[in-house]
Chains A and B, each alone.
Chain A
């Protein structure tokens, strides 16, 4: 009897504790309890420090130092890598990447927006369901297989190149234009994915309501439709820009080292060249520049995305 009572004691005490907890589980108490606990997050934080913190510190530190000319093998802090990253071939690559990304995002944005509206116009539930799945798959497609399929289709010996005699038209896949064409494969679906929910949320009833108080179609779009859709459209464009700018795998598989200057490929070649003439550290500065661009993209995207959902909560 006593033994049973004793063996029950810890869990008995526990459940009393819990009962007390439950009775007092006001938000303030939950907060206090949350405050004291932290130990369970340590494995995660250690992992993050190792695989995210260390590489980021590595790239930033390397970007801000150059080899010491007086003492080979050691480094001195310097801004020279950033200066170099805004000059010559590195700057060309940066500019070209920015230019390709803006054009690709504009094309993908316009086509994606039109496509999303076209899909809604068909009023086919089945099509919308299929498109929803397909866009999230295609938005993630890319990399080596994407480059290879485009080579098979419109590359030098591609099937469509022969059929449509694209070479005679002056088209080549291994150019900025070719990259823009290829990027649309994941950009258009991304745009559809971003704007479709918003466009679908624009109810016919709203337009009818506007019409019943005398608004023309044009007036409805100006005063209701566009203001509601604009945040989503801008968010989509910004996201497309960021996705094009950071694209490396498919571009590398398509044009490798030469041909089209791109910031991602420039980082590649800087790393491959070892520390010859300090190129590795310039590559790190380019990496930091990319992080800054991506950060700006994210900071613009997030509030826009949040606002695009405002009407549809």
Chain B
């Protein structure tokens, strides 16, 4: 009884205004959030002249550019997630296990992308790639520049997307590794004869599964929606393709954009629910690259 009263008490905030006014404000903001999405939905399934229809969705899929944009986006997404985890999980484990003194340095390095807006990062890449190309056809810098910008496999975009996720990924993996007794786990596994790779795969990974999935979801959501770097570097990913067809067929572009948005939101919701309550410390890392 006492406990029950205490737990209800804990959720009691201080009331500043009447609950009625509070609900009015909540409903107003909820409308502001819902109306644009509902209008977009209406646009995609209702054409004034013909009534309800799925034609815009079919048209967007039939657009000659769609499959190219989709496959490029998926390829980039897969490579980014794999590359991100391949670089960051071993690095973070190593950092916690063998090089704790380097932690502040790595933390600062991983925070830098928050300070460099993605348009500035893209501008920096453009100028570097252009000046490398200006060495002339066949020269080594020009060849590297071409390799990085391979239209079918844009390494430069994959690398940049990994960089954009770092502030978030560092915090997430760092927090995850801190909650487990890494040293004991690794030492017991070693004493049972496990190799380094086995320890990573079968001992450490299962213990940080939550943060790893969390990072992967965040990374997928970023790759599906990122526009600034892709358009500046000249790649036709899904969001870039959407803006290109919007002029000629807005209904088709808005229907596909709704689908992508729904998928992104689903990923982010799943991620947040998995992680439990979103800690305020994560706010900064979560912000900034998609808008």
Contact = CB atoms under 8 A, between A and B. Distances in A.
Interface of A: 11, 14-15, 18, 22, 30-31, 33-35, 37-38, 40-41, 43-45, 47-48, 50-52, 54-59, 62, 111, 114-115, 117-123, 125, 127-128, 132-133, 135-146, 148-154, 158-160, 183-186, 188, 190, 193-194, 197-200, 202-205, 207, 225, 239, 242-243, 245-250, 252-253, 264, 267-268, 271, 280, 283-284, 287-288, 290-291, 294-295, 298, 301-302, 305, 308-309
A30 B128 contact: no
B94 A118 contact: no
20 contacts: A31-B100, A52-B109, A57-B124, A117-B22, A121-B16, A121-B19, A133-B272, A153-B39, A159-B42, A204-B12, A239-B283, A243-B287, A243-B288, A246-B119, A246-B288, A290-B119, A294-B116, A294-B117, A298-B114, A305-B284
A160 B291 CA distance: 23
A252 B227 contact: yes
Indicate the member of A122, A160, A248 with the most B CB atoms within 10 Å: A248
A111 B112 CA distance: 30
Nearest to B155: A51
Contact of B269 (A115, A119, A121, A133): A133
B248 interface: no
Nearest to A49: B109
Interface of B: 9, 11-17, 19, 21-23, 25-26, 29, 32-33, 35-37, 39-40, 42-43, 87-88, 90-91, 94-95, 98-102, 106, 109, 111-128, 131, 156, 159-160, 162-163, 187, 190-191, 193, 221, 225-228, 231-232, 239, 242-243, 246, 250, 253-254, 257-258, 260-261, 264-265, 268-269, 272-273, 277-278, 280-284, 286-288, 290-291
B280 A193 contact: yes
A29 to B, nearest CB: 12
Contacts of B26: 115, 118-119, 122, 127
A35 B90 CA distance: 18
Given A194-B283, A243-B291, A249-B227, A267 B119 contact: yes
Given A52-B112, A204-B14, A305-B283, 12 more contacts: A51-B156, A111-B29, A132-B278, A149-B37, A152-B43, A159-B43, A204-B12, A248-B119, A283-B123, A284-B123, A291-B116, A298-B111
Nearest to B88: A44
B247 to A, nearest CB: 10
Contact of A118 (B25, B121, B124): B25
Contacts of B25: 114-115, 118
A50 B14 CA distance: 51
A133 B276 CA distance: 9
Given A52-B112, A149-B40, A118 B17 contact: yes
A121 B17 contact: yes
B33 to A, nearest CB: 7
Contacts of A198: 280
Contacts of A119: 22, 26
